[in-house]
Amino acid sequence: MNILSQSIEGKVVIVTGGTRGIGFETVKLFLNHGAKVALCGSKQETVQKALNELNKIDIKFDVIGFSPDLSNINEVKDMTKKVLQKWGTIDVLINNAGISDSKSIYEYDDDHFAKIMDINVQGVFNCSKVVAEIMKENKKGVILNTSSMVSIYGQKSGCGYPTSKFAVNGLTKSLARELGKDGIRVNAIAPGIIETDMVKALDPNIINKMAQNIPLNRLGTPEDIANAFLFLASDLASYISGAILSVDGGIVG
Ligand code: NAD
């Protein structure tokens, strides 16, 4: 067994937004490397659907599911308590849940901006705070966040989304500085254009135009991002903290 597999096998991993897209692929990859995974989704039905799908692949997978409101710290605490009851520890947190946005600022109603921040920023903060307390006790842990390429240069409409991902980068860099002394590494991945429901919901003309500008000449896949999460969670990345790793086929460059 290589160093990557050795350092993932048996680890307890929480993946938010784990029911589909990047998160679901990440859940599968960690399970395939012998991790125990708690996945979260926004609804109990989608969580159950994801669990059923995983059970179809392999009934031996050690996986459980939750649907907490991530913007509510008490629901996050409740979830982590259940993970601790089942597996006794938490080794890796992957803050991946997120919603995108393409509305013009002129179309924002009163709550829209706050809703994006609640899920994309407050949720990341809440999970990080609750899990860091557990990792601090263990004197080790890894927190990984899903940022975005738009956190580097913004986007033409849907300003709340890049704003939220700039905040994710800020949390990543600040928590890496604060939590390093407790043995906790904190990093983010900034995906490019990845073929998931989130991207399929966008105007195809916009996607095609963006794809033409990708140096590696293709959209990314959820596997591309999952692979990078696996590397950052493993001991191969034991001296990496505070990084915002672009996984984008070279778009940001
Ligand atoms: P997706 O829409 O396929 O999946 C989003 C996941 O987040 C789902 O599992 C959903 O259940 C969960 N989620 C959404 N709202 C939630 C809530 N309120 N509470 C709990 N869970 C919630 O999206 P995806 O493309 O797989 O995106 C995953 C992450 O990657 C997001 O943070 C997104 O911003 C980021 N990202 C995606 C792309 C891309 O091109 N797809 C690019 C850059 C960054």
Q: How far apart are CA 191 and CA 232, in angstroms?
A: 14
Per-residue model confidence (pLDDT) at position 228: 98
Query: What number is the average pLDDT over the span 97-101?
Result: 95
Concerning whether 161 is annotated as a catalytic residue, the answer is: yes
- 184, 159 contact by CB (below 8 A): no
Q: How far apart are CA 205 and CA 8, in angstroms?
A: 40
- 118, 133 contact by CB (below 8 A): no
Mean pLDDT of the chain, nearest integer? 96
Per-residue model confidence (pLDDT) at position 205: 84
Could you tell me whether strands 244-247 and 36-40 are parallel, antiparallel, or unpaired per DSSP bridges?
Answer: unpaired
Residue 96 Cβ < 6 Å to ligand 1: yes
Query: What number is the average pLDDT over the span 171-197?
Result: 97
Query: What number is the average pLDDT over the span 79-98?
Result: 98
Which of 65-69, 111-115, 165-169, 208-212 shows the lowest mean pLDDT across its residues? 208-212
Adjacent-strand bridge partners of 190:
246
Query: What number is the average pLDDT over the span 162-171?
Result: 98
Per-residue model confidence (pLDDT) at position 203: 83
Residue 167 Cβ < 6 Å to ligand 1: no
What are the sequence ranges of the domains in the chain? Answer: 3-246
User: Does 5 have pLDDT greater than 90?
Assistant: no
Q: Which CATH architecture has domain 3-246?
A: 3-Layer(aba) Sandwich (3.40)
Q: Whose CA is nearest to atom 11 of ligand 1?
A: 41
CA of 147 to the centre of ligand 1 (A): 10
Per-residue model confidence (pLDDT) at position 78: 98
**pLDDT tens digit sequence for 30-82:** 999 999 999 999 999 999 999 999 999 988 999 999 999 999 999 999 999 99
Which of 135-139, 142-146, 151-155, 177-181 shows the lowest mean pLDDT across its residues? 151-155
Query: What number is the average pLDDT over the span 140-169?
Result: 97
Which of 211 and 10 is assigned the larger pLDDT? Answer: 10
* Cα 143 from chain centroid (whole Å): 9
